[in-house]
């Protein structure tokens, strides 16, 4: 059973109304006169972080990925609960955790600490307060909306490739030479992503649908389109990249088999970890911050996602669990 089947099975369970049919990044519950946003994300050793990676970066990413989910609902963080598995040496993890909580002024609420055998799994629950209701959902995209991205796509993929290129060189029987020197800019984008909290709050009142891009722009866009029962038509050239990534892509960097040899900019759209915000808004909306319009919302067709007018095959969409 893969992730999609598992979640489909859970949809037959008794769901809280705030679960949004398990079609969203977060749960939304009304308490008293307020609206709380709840999210839960895990990271597993060997799957979500690289062997030997600095645990300070792992702690950062664990918190940042959850805060990014809150950002995509326009929420203000209230606190986090940490599910930690002890490693014996927690100093670097604690250092990174403190840095990220300080950076975003998020207090610790509690959690659980266990011992376990083998590769570890860390979990985090983040709680936020809605700054605008109705809270943006994945399901709200309307025919005629523009499709927008806040943030950039591709830096995280380049970071992963930079961090692993020495290993790839060795696999190809080459000497790593200066391949060991990963670009610090890209490495940081992969290791220490930035949750767009302020941007999410500024956008929440203007959008019809919003989510964060954690599993790849194409996959996440197709999920939003399906849940909204529409089709997204995107233009590859309109996808926003950092100037550093544009240089990187035009240098013809050789990417590994995980990108199936696709051109770098296309591959970046099927790669996760960017933590940009993907949203739709009325085409003439006056957005409070600069965002890239990457396409339009069309009436539903058999394909949830068109890129430059062509349907994207499901195995080209992005990272799918299991």
Q: Look at residue 302 and give its three-state secondary structure.
A: coil
Helix (H, G, I), strand (E, B) or coil at 181: coil
The nearer residue to its own copies, 2 or 253, going by C-beta atoms, is 2
Stretch that binds its own copies, among 33-41, 145-153, 177-185, 282-290 (CB under 8 A): 33-41
* CB of 113 or CB of 254, closer to its own copies: 113
Phi, psi of 213 (to 5 degrees): -95, 90
Q: Which of 275, 53, 64 is nearest to 163 (CA)?
A: 53
How near is the Cβ of 12 to its own copies at its closest, in Å? 8
Q: Does 253 help bind its own copies (rule: CB under 8 A)?
A: no
What phi and psi, each to the nearest 5 degrees, are found at residue 39? -145, 155
Nearest to 60 by CA among 213, 189, 184, 217: 189
Burial call 251-284: b when 16+ CB within 10 Å, e when fewer? eeeebbeebeeeebbbbbbbbbbbbbbbbbbeee
The answer to whether 41 and 66 are in contact (CB under 8 A) is: yes
Q: Residue 249 and residue 241: Cα distance in Å, rounded?
A: 10
Q: Which of 58, 62, 67, 101 binds its own copies (CB under 8 A)?
A: 101
Among the residue ranges 104-112, 142-150, 232-240, 303-311, the one whose residues contact its own copies (CB under 8 A): 104-112
User: Is residue 39 involved in binding its own copies (CB under 8 A)?
Assistant: yes
Give the binding-site size for its own copies (rule: CB under 8 A). 76
Measure the CA dihedral 224/229/234/240, to 10°.
-20
For residue 82, state whether it binds its own copies (rule: CB under 8 A): yes
Considering beta carbons, is residue 5 or 180 the nearer one to its own copies? 5
Among 56, 67, 70, 97, binds its own copies (CB under 8 A): 97
Give the footprint of its own copies on residues 1-30 (CB under 8 A): 1-3, 5-7, 9-10, 13-16, 18-20, 22, 24, 26-27, 29
The answer to whether 52 contacts its own copies (rule: CB under 8 A) is: no
Which 184-243 positions form the footprint of its own copies (CB under 8 A)?
none
Measured distance CA(234)–CA(149) in Å, rounded:
11
Report the alpha-carbon distance of residue 16 to residue 236 in Å, rounded.
Answer: 38
Closest distance between its own copies and the C-beta of residue 286, in Å? 31
Binding segment for its own copies among 86-94, 191-199, 201-209, 273-281 (CB under 8 A)? 86-94
Residues 115-174 that bind its own copies (CB under 8 A): 115-121, 123, 125, 127, 129
Q: Which of 54, 76, 90, 256 binds its own copies (CB under 8 A)?
A: 90
Told to check if 41 binds its own copies by CB under 8 A, we report yes
What are the angstrom distances between the C-alpha of 294 and each of 46, 237, 253? 34, 8, 24
Report the nearest approach of its own copies to the CB of residue 8 (Å).
11
Q: Do the bridges between strand 230-234 and strand 305-307 make them parallel or antiparallel, or are there none, so unpaired? A: parallel
Q: How far is the CB of 320 from its own copies (least distance, A)?
A: 10
Smallest separation (angstroms) from its own copies to the CB of 170: 21
Q: Which residues of 74-102 are buried (b: 16+ CB within 10 A; e: fewer)?
A: bbbbbebbbbbbeeeeeebbeebbebbbe
112 binds its own copies (CB under 8 A): yes
258 scored as a contact of its own copies (CB under 8 A): no
User: Which one of 85, 227, 228, 280 is in contact with its own copies (CB under 8 A)?
Assistant: 85
Environment class of 5 (CB within 10 Å of its CB; exposed 0-12, middle 13-18, buried 19+): exposed
């Amino acid at each position: 059973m893969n992730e999609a089947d598992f979640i489909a099975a859970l949809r037959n369970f008794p769901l809280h109304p705030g679960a949004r049919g398990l079609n969203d990044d977060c749960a939304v519950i009304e308490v008293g006169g307020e609206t709380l946003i709840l999210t839960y994300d895990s990271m597993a050793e060997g799957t979500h972080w690289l062997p030997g990676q600095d645990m300070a970066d792992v702690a950062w990413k664990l918190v940042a990925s959850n805060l990014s989910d809150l950002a995509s609902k326009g929420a203000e963080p209230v606190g986090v609960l940490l599910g930690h598995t002890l490693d014996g040496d927690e100093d670097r993890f604690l250092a990174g955790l403190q840095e990220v909580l300080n950076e975003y002024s998020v207090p610790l609420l509690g959690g659980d600490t266990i011992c376990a055998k083998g590769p570890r799994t860390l979990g985090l629950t983040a709680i936020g307060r809605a700054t605008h209701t109705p809270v943006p959902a994945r399901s709200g995209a309307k025919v005629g909306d523009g499709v927008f991205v806040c943030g950039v796509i591709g830096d995280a993929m380049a970071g992963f490739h930079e961090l692993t290129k020495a290993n790839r060189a060795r696999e190809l029987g080459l000497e790593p030479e200066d391949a060991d020197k990963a670009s610090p800019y890209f490495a940081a984008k992969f290791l220490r992503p930035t949750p767009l909290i302020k941007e999410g709050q500024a956008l929440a009142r203007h959008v019809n649908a919003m989510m964060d891009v954690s599993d790849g722009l194409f996959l996440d866009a197709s999920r939003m389109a399906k849940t909204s029962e529409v089709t997204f038509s995107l233009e590859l050239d309109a996808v926003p990249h950092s100037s550093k990534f544009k240089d990187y892509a035009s240098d013809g960097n050789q990417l590994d088999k995980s990108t199936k040899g696709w051109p770098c900019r296309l591959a970046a759209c099927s790669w996760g970890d960017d933590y940009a915000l993907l949203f739709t808004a009325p085409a003439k909306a006056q957005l409070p911050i600069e965002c890239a319009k990457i396409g339009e919302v069309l009436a539903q067709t058999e394909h949830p996602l068109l890129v430059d007018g062509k349907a994207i095959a499901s195995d080209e969409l992005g990272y799918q669990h299991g």
